[in-house]
Amino acid sequence: MEQLKTIGRELAMGSQGGFGQSKEFLDLVKSIGEARSKAEEDRIVLHEIETLKRRIAEPDIPKRKMKEYIIRLVYVEMLGHDASFGYIHAVKMTHDDSLLLKRTGYLAVTLFLNEDHDLIILIVNTIQKDLKSDNYLVVCAALNAVCRLINEETIPAVLPQVVELLGHAKEGVRKKAIMALHRFHHKSPSSVSHLVSNFRKRLCDNDPGVMGATLCPLFDLISVDVNSYKDLVVSFVSILKQVAERRLPKGYDYHQMPAPFIQIRLLKILALLGSGDKLASENMYTVIGDIFRKCDSSSNIGNAVLYECICCVSSIYPNPKLLEAAAEVISRFLKSDSHNLKYLGIDALGRLIKISPEIAEQHQLAVIDCLEDPDDTLKRKTFELLYKMTKSSNVEVIVNRMIDYMISINDNHYKTYIASRCVELAEQFAPSNHWFIQTMNKVFEHAGDLVNIKVAHNLMRLIAEGFGEDDDAADSQLRSSAVESYLLIIGEPKLPSVFLQVICWVLGEYGTADGKYSASYITGKLCDVAESYSNDETVKAYAVTAIMKIYAFEIAAGRKVDMLDECQSLVEELSASNSTDLQQRAYELQAVISLDARAVESIMPSDASCEDIEIDGNLSFLNSYVQQALENGAQPYIPESERSGMLNISNFRSQDQLEVSMHGLRFEAYELPKPPVPSRIPPPLLAPSAELVPVSEPSYSRETHQVATVPSVSDSGSLELKLRLDGVQRKWGKPTYSSPSSSTSNSTSQNTVNGTTTQVDGASNVNSKARTTYDSRRPQVEISPEKQKLAASLFGGSSQTEKRPTLASHKAAKASSHAAEKSQAPKAVVVSNEVTVEKTNHQPPPDLLDLGEPTVTTSSAPLVDPFKQLEGLLDSTQVTSTVNHGATESPDIISLYANTPASVQSSSAEISVPSNKDDINVTSTLATQFIKGPNPKDALEKDALVRQLGVTPSSQNPNLFRDLLG
């Protein structure tokens, strides 16, 4: 029956040309529909274009025919072919008097043209006329075109008419006029800035639809500048109240919801207005609470409104009751079977944990489920949530998860994104150097070409600097573990270029440092790299410089260097390379090898990559030379400023003469025998022995130059024994040659290389910054205040590196899973509880490997896995160590923290008592053992309380599991 109907309809259209379409057009559509390949389709369309081109140019085409041609053009363009030959005809059609043709013309031009197209100028006039038309449909069509075709320059041409339409009798027109103005605001805020009051006025329009439309531009305006609209809070709240109370006409109901789209808009606006504003927020509490209660959660749109409420609640000044309601809705979302609701639930959770971190733990299992879900969208959203929840205790689990996912996907865009997230988290929270390096290795190995080169530089710097402690043993251990891991990885095929650069640099710098590997072994590996990635010049450059470093260290250590054959051939090959950079490096390598130990050591000191280099801007080391020259009758140096001053005084006659005399002065300066020469000689060696000064020996200059071209880790942290001639030029030449900030002077005496002097400039600032961010044990000063707040409220302060947490929590989790299984069995709770107490008290230091161990529990199989995942999330409790807390916490974090606890705790109290049942209670009792408050005294008190409560299985103190998850 249904088929018959369709066929009948098709026939009807075929024969009569539904909506005035000819048989031809229908045939076209049909043949395209039946085309078996893209090529066939293209052929048909191209043929159609030819036909249209011919037909459309014919004179005296009937208008109805013309309309059809235009529609065919639109169709052709939708299929991806160029229909520009017909644009002008579409423009012409907009001039037509017939509404049908005019509308078709407008439709075509809005689809064809962009706002900067040349033909627009031909339409503006028509639009102006049509905006004044008596027929409101013409006006609407013109407004539609206005939205699309008017650009910044043409706005003034139509603006007066559009503004006039704000008072049009038809509400549909008013609505569209407001939206057109909104569009103008989008394109050029300045053009309509004087009309903002109109939006406010339209908010009081009799027609709710117009009022609803006004909310769109107001939302945009408010998001730019919140403060000028605070006065509207009351109005918005009362509108929302009326809408929620169904005061609007029935026509605005949608699926039994009163004007849900208007409600959503209003909630979004309130979220903006109430953000961080207690006074404004207080106005909103009642109405939002009402919506929470009344909203029908069975329909899609009802949930949309609920979700918007949560967003609003999480944005405005927190209110415990509302947070409770929000948490309830979130748990409903997460428990739902619909992936859409789960998605929104996760998103909402991410918003809410900022304010009340304790709600996350109720949903641990749901979160883990979402992480396992085959739906990519949901998975990514969950990673987003985890990212927000990361801290040093769970960073390993989360980052490993992220890396696993990163490896599994092909979408480069997201891969880049998640790789940068991993790097960010690892840099911030890394529990150990070793883990950090391993993690970075993985990221580089699988997404190396996608990560920012800066990440590689950071990694190199980290390895060079260690973690900022003065523990040389730890640093060298870090380095040798890095070297070892790289030697393992280096053999693998097709490593990303960035990663190879890191590997080469580290091997060059530290490959032979601990004496475990011989120089020939490392250089052999480096030669292999240079060979197998022979078309990557950067890698080759890194490799050859690394080889040079290794040999230099060997020579400096007094060992004899035998260059490997492959190395020899590599150097020969590179010295004939097209790249001058590679050539230079190759020659430098050869030059270094031919030097004696003392020279080599001073140009290439071992492990000096992060020493700061003192710049002696005054070139004081040259004083003796200058003195000598003066004694020999040279003229004293006159600074250029004084020189020109003198000139101005002595030559105040004419411009020409001034120039002449300047020439004269310069000429004299050139005649001075050898001022520039000494600059080319490395001073640490030669400054004391003044008699060597005039000899500009090529090999020396080569050496020094060589050092300067050693690839530096970054601009700052590397061994910059650079000799730059500009430092000298500054003294004798024009000041423009030298830039004080970048010039590194040649005054690197042995002292400064051993590095006690720190030069405070941008570079070293960067260094110290990097250091602190790597060091998870320090307060993270560089993190934005928002993050601090998040961290403080999520984790109860900066986390300590765990000393005995993982295993303990592991057991705790085990026990809790165990207990959860037999929920509502109080005895089981007590038992497992005691077990945990014991365990936590006598736990050995963390055994991270324990994570991988199969959990032996009595719980059923499916339960085991999620809990294993959870451990990372759970063990946070131990992490907030009481004693160190006060000491390490930076004051502002404390103050930030102090802002929240009152409301958070009270809200948690209210939320958890009614909402969680059996298993959550069990976990809560278990968690008691680990609760540590934000300061020692608090914690002790709480601990006592907890112990007291811990033995009574009925305890439902909600504070107890607040720290469980976050």
Nearer to other proteins, 133 or 890 (CB): 133
Interface residue with other proteins, options 16, 534, 623, 742 (CB under 8 A) = 16
CB of 179 to other proteins, least distance (A): 5
Between vectors from CA 654 to CA 653 and to CA 655, what angle results, nearest 5°?
140
Nearer to other proteins, 417 or 737 (CB): 417
Q: What is the DSSP string of 172-232?
A: HHHHHHHHHHHHHHHH-GGGGGGGHHHHHHHTT-SSHHHHHHHHHHHHHHHHH-SGGGGGG
Nearer to other proteins, 9 or 734 (CB): 9
Q: What is the DSSP string of 637-694?
A: P--HHHHHHHHHHH--S-HHHHHHHHHHHHHHHHHSSSTTGGGGS-HHHHSS-GGGTT
Which residues are within 8 A (CB) of 573 and not within 5 positions of it... i.e. 6 or more apart?
A: none
Residue type, position 463, single letter: I
The 102-141 contact track toward other proteins, x by CB under 8 A, reads -xx--x---x-xxx-------------------x-x----
Residue 332 binding other proteins, by CB under 8 A: no
Cα–Cα distance between 780 and 463 in angstroms, integer? 20
CB of 10 to other proteins, least distance (A): 7
Site for other proteins in 479-518 (CB under 8 A): none
Which tokens hold the place of 78?
A: 């939708």
Nearer to other proteins, 170 or 778 (CB): 170
Nearer to other proteins, 16 or 899 (CB): 16
The 10 Å CB-count burial string (b at 16+, else e) for 386-400 is bbbbbbbbbbbbbbb
The 280-309 contact track toward other proteins, x by CB under 8 A, reads --------------------xx-xx--xx-
Residue 189 binding other proteins, by CB under 8 A: no
Nearer to other proteins, 9 or 666 (CB): 9
Site for other proteins (CB under 8 A): how many residues? 88
**526: how many CB neighbours lie within 10 A of its CB?**
30
CB of 114 to other proteins, least distance (A): 4
Stretch that binds other proteins, among 44-52, 252-260, 736-744, 893-901 (CB under 8 A): 252-260
Nearer to other proteins, 180 or 603 (CB): 180
Interface residue with other proteins, options 371, 378, 547, 926 (CB under 8 A) = 378
Cα–Cα distance between 242 and 260 in angstroms, integer? 12
Q: How big is the chain, counted in residues? A: 966
Residue 13 binding other proteins, by CB under 8 A: yes
Interface residue with other proteins, options 153, 172, 424, 476 (CB under 8 A) = 172
Nearer to other proteins, 82 or 671 (CB): 82
Angstrom CA distances, 607 to 396, 479, 518, 626, stand at 30, 11, 17, 34
Nearer to other proteins, 110 or 393 (CB): 110
Stretch that binds other proteins, among 11-19, 419-427, 788-796, 955-963 (CB under 8 A): 11-19
Nearer to other proteins, 249 or 785 (CB): 249
Residue 382 C-beta-side C-alpha neighbours within 13 Å: 26
Nearer to other proteins, 301 or 909 (CB): 301
Cα–Cα distance between 461 and 680 in angstroms, integer? 29
Site for other proteins in 56-95 (CB under 8 A): 62-64, 71, 74-75, 77-82
Site for other proteins in 665-694 (CB under 8 A): none
CB of 366 to other proteins, least distance (A): 15
Question: What is the separation, in whole angstroms, between the first and last Cα of the chain?
Answer: 61
Using a 10 angstrom Cβ sphere, with 0-12 exposed, 13-18 middle and 19 or more buried, the burial of residue 955 is: middle
Which residues are within 8 A (CB) of 658 and not within 5 positions of it... i.e. 6 or more apart?
A: 647, 651
Q: What is the DSSP string of 682-709?
A: -HHHHSS-GGGTT---HHHHHHHHHHHH
Residue 195 binding other proteins, by CB under 8 A: no
Stretch that binds other proteins, among 321-329, 337-345, 879-887, 951-959 (CB under 8 A): 337-345
Residue 519 binding other proteins, by CB under 8 A: no
Which residues are within 8 A (CB) of 780 and not within 5 positions of it... i.e. 6 or more apart?
A: 428, 772, 773, 787, 788, 791, 798
Interface residue with other proteins, options 2, 134, 565, 596 (CB under 8 A) = 2
User: 937-945 long-range contacts, Cβ below 8 Å, gap at least 24?
Assistant: 939/882, 940/882
Q: What are φ and ψ of residue 213, in 5° steps?
A: -65, -35
Which tokens hold the place of 581?
A: 């950079």
CB of 494 to other proteins, least distance (A): 24
What phi-psi label fits residue 455: left (phi over 0), alpha (psi between -120 and 50 degrees) or beta?
alpha
DSSP state letter for 430: -
CB of 402 to other proteins, least distance (A): 16
CB of 157 to other proteins, least distance (A): 18
Interface residue with other proteins, options 344, 348, 530, 592 (CB under 8 A) = 344
Site for other proteins in 32-51 (CB under 8 A): 33
Cα–Cα distance between 391 and 348 in angstroms, integer? 20
Residue 216 binding other proteins, by CB under 8 A: yes
State the Cα torsion 585-588-593-599 to the nearest 10°: -130
Site for other proteins in 877-896 (CB under 8 A): none
3-class secondary structure, 711 = coil
Interface residue with other proteins, options 260, 448, 796, 966 (CB under 8 A) = 260
Nearer to other proteins, 411 or 865 (CB): 411
CB of 156 to other proteins, least distance (A): 19
Nearer to other proteins, 75 or 587 (CB): 75
Residue 261 binding other proteins, by CB under 8 A: yes
Angstrom CA distances, 218 to 235, 274, 283, 313, 950, stand at 13, 15, 19, 20, 53
CB of 311 to other proteins, least distance (A): 8
Nearer to other proteins, 10 or 471 (CB): 10
Stretch that binds other proteins, among 411-419, 520-528, 600-608, 947-955 (CB under 8 A): 411-419
Q: How far is CA 894 from the centre of its chain?
A: 27
Residue 374 binding other proteins, by CB under 8 A: yes
The structure tokens 């979004």 sit at: 268
CB of 251 to other proteins, least distance (A): 6
Nearer to other proteins, 64 or 132 (CB): 64
The 894-933 contact track toward other proteins, x by CB under 8 A, reads ----------------------------------------
Cα–Cα distance between 206 and 244 in angstroms, integer? 18
Nearer to other proteins, 81 or 559 (CB): 81
Cα–Cα distance between 816 and 924 in angstroms, integer? 9
Nearer to other proteins, 135 or 627 (CB): 135
Residue 946 C-beta-side C-alpha neighbours within 13 Å: 25
CB of 113 to other proteins, least distance (A): 8
Interface residue with other proteins, options 268, 549, 811, 885 (CB under 8 A) = 268
CB of 1 to other proteins, least distance (A): 11
Question: Is residue 159 within 8 Å of residue 143, measured between CB atoms?
Answer: no
Which tokens hold the place of 224?
A: 């730019």
Residue 414 binding other proteins, by CB under 8 A: yes
CB of 458 to other proteins, least distance (A): 24
Nearer to other proteins, 236 or 551 (CB): 236
3-class secondary structure, 836 = helix
